[in-house]
Structure 1
Amino acid sequence: MSAGLTADDPLKQRRAFAEDLARAAGRKARTFFVHRETLVTDVKTSSQDLVSQADRTVEALLRRAIRRQFPEDAIVGEEDVPVAGRSGYVWVLDPIDGTMPFLVGQPNWCVSIAIGRNEQPVAGVVYAPVLRELYSAVEGGGATLNGAALRVNPDWTLASTNVGFGATQKATVEETAAFVAGLYREGGVLFRVGSGALMLSYVAANRLAGYYDPHISSWDCWAAMAIIREAGGRAEFSGDLHRPGRLWAGNERVIADLKRLSGEPG
């Protein structure tokens, strides 16, 4: 367990465990990454939506550890069926967010672990092993990157720096083109690295002004949503634990502009 673990605070206890678990999962995933040419991959919904032996093995590692430590917690993950719980807590897992970057040798992939309560993420850990960056947050306790506090810039606009865009082949050509055209007309520049969790974490770290995704699942975003909110930003998700939806993130002004550009009623 991480230092500072307190038995009388169940949420902080889980966040500390999640940090250790993300590092362990990251080490396992990085072993696969070094030997990625040996991995067998399967197509899920499209040629850009893949799953590999690494994804499945790392998620199994995460699930086993959580079940041992918190047997009454629920678990929802990208690669396996949900597990019901009785504690009121749910773990939301993406073992390798950014499978395509992972498979082609890019460093921009991560392990994403969220802890939810009352249908909302209340703690999150995003760990990028190759980049050696650990983003972490717990409700009421702030957000950090490798231990340093994060705070979203409240004055930024769409044109202050790049804007993350999560559109995959699940978005239509028309809605994708309309959003990109509108963003560039207003002085923005698009940014994409193939990992929603990582791009959202970049919002919390002021590396991106904001982020928009027309179709994202809870395991891709819940952990980073907690991090953004604890960094003083906003993250609005139209989906839920089991249903994908649209997602907007940034400060108040950036979210309003992203929603307008994406055709969302004010």
Structure 2
Amino acid sequence: MASEQNGEADPLHDRVAVAEGLARAAGAKARDFFLNRGVLHPELKSASQDLVSEADRSIEAWLRLSIHEHFPTDGIVGEEEAATEGTSGFVWVIDPIDGTMPFLVGQPNWTVSIGIARDRQPVAGVIFAPMMDELYLAVEGGGAWLNGVRLTMNQEWTVASTTTGFGATQKADPKDVGAFVEALYREGGVVFRVGSGALMLAYVAANRLAGYYDPTLFCWDCWAGIALVREAGGVVTFDGELDRPGPMWAGNARVHDDLVRLSRRPT
């Protein structure tokens, strides 16, 4: 991917190039932890399945240091540490291990997720799944890619075409969860879940899922994935911000609108 336009450095593409390298390096570090996860000491954060380990913390600390070395005026928002302010207009949105629960129990479906915001909008993202050796990359105006192959979403799909990602955790309202699942199944859909919001968004971009709905996501779970889906031709609505969580719907235009409709409980 070119890093110059009209002979001048392109600040976004420069950051994407660094993000790809950092995602691969962080993935290698995470993989080492994963293969020796028996020595980790996971701790509860807010619920029985909301965990953090020294793997999450040490890799995020390394990412923050590396980003600051490359782009000292950029801001950083991450899952494990407080946000740091910047002055460049760029903010890095990082999750060192998205899918900590799958990671800790030996499932391969976890990722390193690095999103980039410019003026608080998602403009690029890298999602790396080390155990599957899959790297997803997107940059505004430059398309979405999986291991160098361009991704284009199927615009004909409906919620009945294949499975739909659903990200509700045990903190979600059971009545809302049940109502959405029932509504989806009534229209021929089937639920899919892997424990990593970033990976499920990547699967939407790659035509592995029809769409994805999550009642509560944080920016670090979805920022890179939003860029991926949009650059692959999809639609994403995230009713959160860099500093607060919110619900999110993703798919082609029809699936997106259907997921919004199906997730609204009658009042």
Question: Which residue in 2 is equivalent to 1:144?
Answer: 145
2:237 partner letter: E
Question: Which residue in 1 is equivalent to 2:262?
Answer: 261
2:236 is aligned with 1:235: yes
Cα distance, 1:61 vs structure 2: 1.0
Equivalent runs, 1:244-259 vs 2, <5 Å: 244-259=245-260
Q: Is the 8 A contact 2:179 2:265 kept in 1?
A: no
Cα distance, 1:4 vs structure 2: 4.4
Equivalent runs, 1:155-194 vs 2, <5 Å: 155-194=156-195
In 2: Cα distance, 1:200 partner to 1:46 partner: 24
In 2: Cα distance, 1:179 partner to 1:45 partner: 24
Question: Which residue in 2 is equivalent to 1:91?
Answer: 92
Cα distance, 1:118 vs structure 2: 1.5
Equivalent runs, 1:1-266 vs 2, <5 Å: 4-6=2-4, 8-263=9-264
In 2: Cα distance, 1:204 partner to 1:4 partner: 22
* Runs of 4 or more consecutive aligned structure 1 residues displaced over 6 Å after TM superposition: none
- Secondary structure at 1:171 match in 2: coil
* Residue segments in structure 1 that go unaligned for 5+ positions in a row: none
In 1: Cα distance, 2:102 partner to 2:82 partner: 25
1:29 partner letter: A
Q: Is the 8 A contact 2:74 2:87 kept in 1?
A: yes
1:116 partner letter: A
* Paired residue total: 263
Cα distance, 1:170 vs structure 2: 2.2
Q: Is the 8 A contact 1:50 1:100 kept in 2?
A: yes
Alpha carbons of structure 1 residues 201 and 16: separation in structure 2 relative to 1, 3 Å? same
* Residue segments in structure 2 that go unaligned for 5+ positions in a row: none
Q: TM-score, normalised by structure 2?
A: 0.97
In 1: Cα distance, 2:36 partner to 2:3 partner: 35
In 2: Cα distance, 1:264 partner to 1:142 partner: 35
- Secondary structure at 1:197 match in 2: helix
Q: Is the 8 A contact 1:170 1:215 kept in 2?
A: no
In 2: Cα distance, 1:9 partner to 1:88 partner: 14
Cα distance, 1:212 vs structure 2: 0.1
CA root-mean-square deviation:
1.1
In 2: Cα distance, 1:68 partner to 1:118 partner: 21
Paired-residue identity, %: 64
In 2: Cα distance, 1:48 partner to 1:242 partner: 22
In 1: Cα distance, 2:106 partner to 2:200 partner: 18
Q: TM-score, normalised by structure 1?
A: 0.97
In 2: Cα distance, 1:4 partner to 1:240 partner: 30
